[in-house]
Amino acid sequence: MTKRVVRHDVIREIIRRGNYKTQRDLAEQLRLEGYDCTQATVSRDIKVMGVAKSRDGYYVLPEDMQLKRMVGELVESVETVDNWLVIKTPSGIASGVTVALDDAQLQGVVGTIAGDNTIFVMTRSTLDAEHIADIIRKLQNNRD
């Protein structure tokens, strides 16, 4: 992987972990994590990644906005079994939600399988499965 791809992955994780409103804050967090880059580099990265600002002024990832919309509206339940998640949706909807999950590139996810109304998500560990399930539950609870 190139330095830029790795840096984009780190930026994704930083944005998902905390609330950042400025490029300077993101650049500082990158420096704390061992990535020495300028604010101009962060600005280019944000543009290339399609990062937007929420109504509250915090950076959000486009794939997370899509995931929030899909999960908030369409996921009926989520359950963990060892390092697997079983996600239930209305009939005919599972593949669309799976695309949103895949696009979000959630850390710890190995792969997904969609049926008509059921999604299986394989994670690297039981801890990863619980973490992903928590993310999905939070998105479900933030239904507008």
Q: Which string of DSSP letters, residue by residue, matches 95-108? A: HHHHHHHHHHT-TT
Mean pLDDT by 10 residues, the chain (144 residues): 87 88 94 91 94 89 86 94 97 94 91 97 97 90 60
Residue 18: what pLDDT?
Answer: 83
Residue 134: what pLDDT?
Answer: 92
The residue to which tokens 């580099």 are assigned: 41
pTM of this prediction? 0.70
6-11 long-range Cβ contacts below 8 angstroms, 24+ apart: 7/35, 7/37, 7/41, 7/45, 8/45, 8/48, 8/49, 9/105, 10/35, 11/42, 11/45, 11/46, 11/49, 11/51
Residue 142: what pLDDT?
Answer: 66
**What are the tokens at 134?**
């928590």
Residue 49: what pLDDT?
Answer: 94
